[in-house]
């Protein structure tokens, strides 16, 4: 699993970003990066402070560049557009940026999920304290059951409204499932994590569970609960991404 690299960990050779106009619509302001990930040795993905998402194609194999403490984006006046002279640099790496492409939330979520799942190769590392094992996710491509406020079936998948305070400002997510997913008139949607993290991201074993609420007491309630348990619908989660802030 790869770490999430925030702006403070990726030094930028530039000045404050207030009131800047990009030289071209696809350009990235290196002074206003919220987070950045390495999806593979040739690809970085980042989100800026305004919520814009971009993929940076590197001209060569640059595996592990974000693990360098002195890694920085270098570009004319702090802009990264895929022009000559732009690069991700550190004492160990000099990686020219060949291409900058805007991506939507769905594509960004898939790339970040890939980056988080990929193994990371590091040099000598001293570990103190308890090791953290298993999968972790971020609100860019995961949603937690405890964030949910409401849900409905949308034209392109299940849409859930969430608490923006818990979901890094996001208010709504789309959950795409593998194949058709009929809720069969269900009243309750439950997200079940296949990795035990409490977050659904599209990892193996992640699924949504539809059921009917059983609120009656006594024998009637017990019968309803048995009917509900027998009528549950499970759908495999393929991808998760925010669709509104």
The CB-side HSE value for 195 (13 A sphere, CA atoms) comes to 16
C-beta separation of 65 from 96 below 8 A: no
d(CA 245, CA 163): 11
Check residues 119 and 154 and name the one with the higher pLDDT: 154
Using one digit for the tens of pLDDT, what is the confidence trace for 166-212? 998 899 999 999 988 888 778 889 999 998 888 999 999 999 998 87
Confidence of residue 224 (pLDDT cuts 50, 70, 90): very low
**Pairs from 152-155 (Cβ < 8 Å, separation ≥ 24):** 153/183
Backbone angles phi, psi at 105, to 5 degrees: -60, -35
Going from N- to C-terminal start, the domains of the chain cover 5-117, 143-244
Using one digit for the tens of pLDDT, what is the confidence trace for 87-136? 999 888 999 999 999 999 999 999 998 888 765 433 332 323 333 344 45
Closest CA to 135 of 106, 113, 167: 113
174 membership: H or E segment, kind and range? strand 172-177
């Amino acid at each position: 699993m790869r770490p999430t690299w925030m702006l403070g960990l990726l030094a930028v050779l530039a000045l404050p970003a207030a009131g800047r106009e990009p030289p071209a619509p696809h350009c990235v302001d290196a002074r206003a990066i919220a987070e950045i990930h390495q999806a593979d040795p040739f690809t970085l993905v980042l989100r800026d402070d305004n919520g814009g998402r971009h993929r940076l194609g590197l001209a060569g194999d640059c595996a592990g560049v974000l693990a360098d403490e002195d890694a920085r984006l270098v570009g004319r006046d702090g802009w990264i557009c895929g022009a000559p002279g732009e690069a991700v640099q550190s004492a160990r790496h000099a990686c020219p940026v060949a291409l900058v492409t805007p991506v939507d939330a769905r594509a960004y979520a898939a790339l970040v999920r890939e980056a988080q799942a990929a193994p990371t190769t590091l040099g000598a590392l001293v570990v103190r304290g308890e090791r953290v094992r298993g999968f972790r996710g971020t609100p860019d491509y995961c949603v937690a059951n405890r964030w949910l406020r409401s849900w409905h079936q949308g034209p392109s998948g299940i849409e859930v409204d969430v608490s923006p305070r818990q979901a890094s400002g996001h208010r709504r997510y789309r959950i795409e499932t593998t194949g058709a997913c009929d809720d069969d008139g269900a009243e309750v949607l439950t997200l079940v994590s296949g990795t035990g993290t409490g977050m659904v991201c599209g990892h193996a074993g992640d699924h949504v569970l539809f059921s009917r609420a059983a609120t009656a007491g006594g024998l009637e309630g017990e019968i309803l609960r048995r009917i509900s348990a027998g009528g549950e619908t499970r759908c495999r989660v393929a991808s998760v991404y925010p669709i509104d802030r």
